[in-house]
Structure 1
Amino acid sequence: MQVQFKEGAFQPPEVPSTLNLPEKLEIFGQKIDLQPVQQSLNTIQEAVANITRGISIQSPLKVPIPGNRVKSWLLTTYLDRDFRISRGDCGLFVLAKDGSSLLDQLL
């Protein structure tokens, strides 16, 4: 198989909108109460949540890829119902089908 990429896309990053601190933290034998810090963070977290909602609804940025340097090849050397081994000009790929019993053996 020979592949040529004509377009790439940049997905907006996923930014967590909350930061959960523990109630207390012990440093060098001293216990520090973090509840006042958490309360101060709540207003900042609300602002961050608004910003992340704005970012997450943006469409991916699509960029055309010019030239011939984006051509690649892939050769499948083994294939069955659950498993595929392919090699190409950029490496070796060992793929297992989602839901395959082979994945259970790896975990």
Structure 2
Amino acid sequence: MNKHIETLTGFKNGTKKIFRDCFYDLWDAWDELLSAFKKIGFVIFVFVVWLFSLALVCILPLATWLRLKWEREHEVAVEKAKREYMERITCLHNKRGDSDQHLTR
């Protein structure tokens, strides 16, 4: 009977030790998994910052060029509109090519 009790006690102590070892292995694996997720998150963060910087380097000069182009086009359109308006309100320009004598009669 003592042999059976010793076997059961040994089995109980062995299973506790195996459970503790498995638990610590699981805990270490969990820590490593969290560490891997942190590193993956850091890599993704660095990649996003790099993409943002690349976008700024590429998009800001393009946006500046487009803004300057649109401002030049706007200035040309304003000057053209001013000339057309001035031509309409003055009698110096006659679209038909006739003289303005018919207006004085």
TM-score normalised by length of structure 1? 0.23
Higher strand share: 1
TM-score (norm 2): 0.23
Tell me: higher relative CO, structure 1 or 2? Use CA pairs within 8 A at least 6 residues apart: 1
Please identify which structure carries the higher helix content: 2
